[in-house]
Amino acid sequence: MLPSQKWQRRSEARPQEILDAALALFAEKGFAATRIDDIAMRAGITKGTVYLYFESKEQIFRALIGSSIGTAISDIAGRVEQFKGSARELLKIVLTAVGEFLISSDRVVLPKILIAEAGNFPELVRFYRTEIVDRGLAVMTSVVTRGIASGEFRKIAPEHIARICVAPLLLIAFWRTTFGQFDPRPYDYQGLIDTHIDVLLRGLSPAEGAP
């Protein structure tokens, strides 16, 4: 491989290396306590190199959110828009996708970090609310509204149901990043997802208690 080609590949990989280093440090030390110098040291680069790609620590945090949780929401929104089947099946697909992301992604620590330091960084909270929370709730609300319109779901305020859809799944993120380390055996997250979907669909059914 020519030196220029090797340098180019290294340069292209650099932003991800910076993000990986920052994520590890944010999880270990918290957002406020982490410095750009720390991120550079963990990534094995100079502080100046970090600034070539990100203008601030806040921008790094936003990039971590956008390149993971934000991308996942965009993918799910696209699937919802193209789906032609029943609302019940669509709700299963969406909740399963959300659950799988929460089970597998290392970025689930980000909401925990944000909540811990929300008082000191309100603009980051505003960013997360706009780019993640509002977009995610909009997707869930659209699915529920579709089900009500088709008669598959009983008439309940979609904005409340959207939150109920998501809230139990968020437990996966907090359990993984906080309590999971003390579990005597790995918790059955998939079982939680399946149970949540079953209970939710029974509750939404026009005939109460119907499967």
Phi, psi of 184 (to 5 degrees): -65, -25
pLDDT over 80 (residue 11)? no
Task: Note the maximum CA span of the chain.
Answer: 68
What pLDDT is attached to residue 32? 94
How many CB atoms sit inside 10 A of residue 91's CB? 24
Per cent of the chain over pLDDT 70 is 92
Taking the alpha carbons at both ends of the chain, their separation in whole angstroms is: 60
pTM: 0.87
Q: Is 200 helix (H, G, I), strand (E, B) or coil?
A: helix
pLDDT over 70 (residue 208)? no
What pLDDT is attached to residue 159? 96
Residue-range domains of the chain with CATH: 1-55 (1.10.10.60), 58-204 (1.10.357.10)
What pLDDT is attached to residue 18? 96
CA–CA gap between residue 161 and residue 141 (Å, rounded):
7
The confidence band for 2, taking pLDDT boundaries of 50, 70 and 90, is very low
What confidence tens digit (pLDDT) does each residue in 112-133 have? Answer: 999 999 999 999 999 999 999 9
What pLDDT is attached to residue 13? 73
Judge whether 130 and 62 are in contact, CB under 8 Å: no
